[in-house]
Amino acid sequence: QKQEPDRLKRALLDLLPSKQGRSAVKSDTKGNCGFSSAFATHDSHSVDTLGEKFDYRSIMMYDEYAFSKDGVSPTLQAKENGVVIGPIWKKHRLSQSDIRRIHKLYKCNG
């Protein structure tokens, strides 16, 4: 069954910082980011989490240095102590949360 593009977009927006400050990441893109529009914030009404919590291990999650101009200054950091957002090239598969979201979004079990 074909899904509405808006619902897919809202589901993917869950990875972005929230305007209400409830996001799981903090972004610092002032002056160091080469693509700051990738870090736009969205309110909770424009985001569909599909009932899943924020997932640092999601294959869709930018790493700490995503779009950094100098490559060594972080643009994203986890708010949760001790959590490191690993580089995307070290994520070899979908996380369990990614899989559940796909199943819910496309109404499939395979």
Q: The domain at 5-106 falls in which architecture?
A: 3-Layer(aba) Sandwich (3.40)
**Is the pTM above the cut of 0.85?**
no
Residue 1 pLDDT: 47
Confidence of residue 11 (pLDDT cuts 50, 70, 90): low
**Domain residue ranges of the chain, discontinuous segments joined by +:** 5-106
* CB contact at 8 A, 48 and 14: yes
Residue 97 pLDDT: 93
Nearest to 54 by CA among 8, 22, 91, 86: 22
* CB contact at 8 A, 102 and 55: no
Please check the confidence at residue 68 and state whether its pLDDT lies above 90.
Answer: no
How many angstroms separate the CA atoms of 108 and 64, rounded? 32
Please check the confidence at residue 96 and state whether its pLDDT lies above 90.
Answer: yes
* Residue with more model confidence, 22 or 103: 103
* CB contact at 8 A, 53 and 26: no
